Structure 1
Amino acid sequence: MRLIALAAVFALSLAAPLAADPGFWKNEWPKTNFERTSIESWVEIISGGPPKDGIPALSDPGFIAAADETRIGDTEPVITVEIDGAQPRAYPIRYLTWHEIVNDTVGGVPVAVTFCPLCNSALTFDRRINLGTLSFGVSGKLRNSDMIMYDRETESWWQQAIGEAVVGDLTGTVLDLVPSWMESWAEFRDRNPDGLVMDQPRYNRFYGQNPYRGYDQSKRPFLYNGEMPPHGIPPLMRVVRVGDRAWPMDRLAVEQQITEAGVTLSWRSGQASALDTAEIAAGRDVGSVRVRDGQGRDLAHDVMFAFAFHAFWPDGQWMLAR
């Protein structure tokens, strides 16, 4: 289980750099080709605590009608996936907190719906590459505090925040993003009365509870040794990332709608932070974000912590208040 005190996990991580060696990992990863990698130093990769599949990814989950769901609080966050030809689907963060990856198929599109709690990164990928369709699991490894996924076909390692294979035969392959967004359960349900919501998985987990209590109000990120973001931006402030640009959430929450760089970002209140209080539904209001292009179409984006944006896009553009 991932219900571990952050201090205890930190203690485990102190020894991780000593084990940052493919020779140490090969027993657990016999299929992974460690001769191919885009990572400059193995020390960048550390253990997050759980072993391979210690956080069990889900595949082909069950769904129920949105109107029949009674367990989820109105303000709880869900990841919404709307694909033409399919009923809209909501993937509750109360489940993704404990599983981090859901392998599913929506409207004929094989997708991986992902959530990295330590970066607040929620991204949906198309699982198809030119060699076929992949299925993803949780490696238990972190880089810049971000989850490293792995595909079960080649056991290549993938960086969740950028959707790119960084170790193994598929190194350099980039997954296509599927537009999705985080919003409150009430927003999804009210907009999609005929929509579907992922049913509660059959695992013994404290669903609805937040094992990272108070994390997004911390002064420093967890299991991260990189540079802090510039411009005095708090490292755990949420930013809206579109490509290599990031809009700080405090600016968007004040302006509520911003049109810049060919995109329109809108903010509305009503979504609870999943990384605040012990009970997710009681988390403080951090609001919901939608990102659309000039034709009003939803765009793939991420609402992640500022430190993670700076780590993976060190030359990225910060869209500060004018």
Structure 2
Amino acid sequence: MKLSLFVITLLITSISFSQRPSAKKSGKFFYENGNKMLYGGNAQEHFIINNLDLKEEQFHYGLGREMFPALINPQFETIEEADKKWMSNQRFLVAHKGNEVKAYSIKDLTRHEVVNDIIDGEPIFAAYCILADLGAVYKRNYNEKTFTFAVSGYTYFDPNVWNGLDGFILWDRETESLWWPLIDKAVSGKLKGVKLQKLEDTFWEDTTWANIKEKYPKAKILISKQDFQRPTSWKKYNDVIDIVKIYSN
């Protein structure tokens, strides 16, 4: 899995835009039991996309929604343990709130794309998309409900958004809605229209290893090359009407 994932990531970043595989042409969109579907892996992993906001012809790839190890229970090490692994100019996303500091290298986030975590008691996720060079830290709580984010296996582009670059499509496990971070909102499913919530700017930054060592000597550093057994079941939220009302545009 680790080798194949490395190869897949390398291929995704090296293939020119015009050569990226069209999800529509490769049959990733289909109908089943009266629902419009998007391929997600095995028969239990397809997405219902009856209210999809995006154009089918602008989807790329379709690798399966559990291909990338979007961490659920990330493990960390100390700066002293991690120091020999990183060069001063290597890039990290850092979340710092209360007495807690956690750092996620861009190198590792390129592999995971999403790391679900908690900082000072607040559920968050750190995310990075190498194709759009988009990295940010987001909140996971909506109206007292906590969501778990993962990677759909698709990218999407819009000529009028983010200079037309591809950006990953995420999904949440609790409603299986699809989200496009390049426009900061859910684009299908029960949560369609709900905005992604970035953690306040004062609580996270995009920085370097040298800066982390200087400013945050007690920081916890994400351990590299983690993987985990993908869950086969999880909590589902059926009543999200209030969330849609509160957090939509």
| TM-score normalized by the length of structure 2 | 0.72
> Secondary structure of 2:116's partner?
strand
**Mapped pair 1:150 → 2:171:** yes
Q: Distance in 2 between matches of 1:35 and 1:203?
A: 32
Q: Deviations over 1:8-65 (max 9, x none)?
A: 996561x4232363436257466744122332x2222222x63222111012211122
**Mapped pair 1:74 → 2:88:** yes
Verify the 8 A CA contact 2:28 2:39 in the aligned structure 1: no
CA RMSD of aligned residues (A): 2.5
Verify the 8 A CA contact 2:70 2:150 in the aligned structure 1: yes
| TM-score normalized by the length of structure 1 | 0.57
Verify the 8 A CA contact 2:78 2:218 in the aligned structure 1: yes
Measure how far apart 1:190 and its partner are: 1.0
Q: Deviations over 1:211-253 (max 9, x none)?
A: xxxxxxxxxxxxxxxxxxxxxxxxxxxxxxxxxxxxxxxxxxx
Matched residue, 2:245: none
Q: Deviations over 1:173-206 (max 9, x none)?
A: 11211132211111111111122211223349xx
Q: Distance in 1 between matches of 2:216 and 2:207?
A: 12
**Mapped pair 1:7 → 2:15:** yes
Matched residue, 2:124: 111
Matched residue, 1:190: 214
Measure how far apart 1:132 and its partner are: 1.1
Q: Deviations over 1:84-113 (max 9, x none)?
A: x23211111121111100000000110010
Residue-pair matches, total: 200
Runs of 5+ consecutive residues of structure 1 not aligned to the other structure: 205-322
Equivalent of 1:168 in 165, 189, 200? 189
Amino acid at match of 1:35: N
Amino acid at match of 1:132: K
Matched residue, 1:255: none
Q: 1:154 to 1:131 in 2, by over 3 A?
A: farther
Matched residue, 2:23: 16
Q: Distance in 2 between matches of 1:27 and 1:20?
A: 8
Verify the 8 A CA contact 2:92 2:103 in the aligned structure 1: yes
Q: Distance in 2 between matches of 1:30 and 1:192?
A: 40
Runs of 5+ consecutive residues of structure 2 not aligned to the other structure: 32-36, 158-165, 229-249
Measure how far apart 1:160 and its partner are: 1.9
**Aligned residue runs from structure 1 range 210-289, under 5 A:** none
Q: Distance in 1 between matches of 2:136 and 2:173?
A: 19
Verify the 8 A CA contact 1:63 1:196 in the aligned structure 2: yes
Q: Distance in 1 between matches of 2:134 and 2:19?
A: 24
Amino acid at match of 1:186: A
**Mapped pair 1:42 → 2:42:** no
Q: Distance in 2 between matches of 1:9 and 1:155?
A: 28
**Mapped pair 1:126 → 2:139:** yes
Q: 1:130 to 1:37 in 2, by over 3 A?
A: farther
Matched residue, 1:54: 67
Show structure 1 runs of 4+ deviating over 6 A: none
Amino acid at match of 1:55: F
Amino acid at match of 1:170: L
- The percent of aligned pairs where both chains have the same amino acid is 23
Q: Distance in 2 between matches of 1:27 and 1:96?
A: 21
> Secondary structure of 2:93's partner?
strand
Q: 1:117 to 1:27 in 2, by over 3 A?
A: closer
Q: Distance in 1 between matches of 2:176 and 2:186?
A: 10
Verify the 8 A CA contact 1:128 1:175 in the aligned structure 2: no
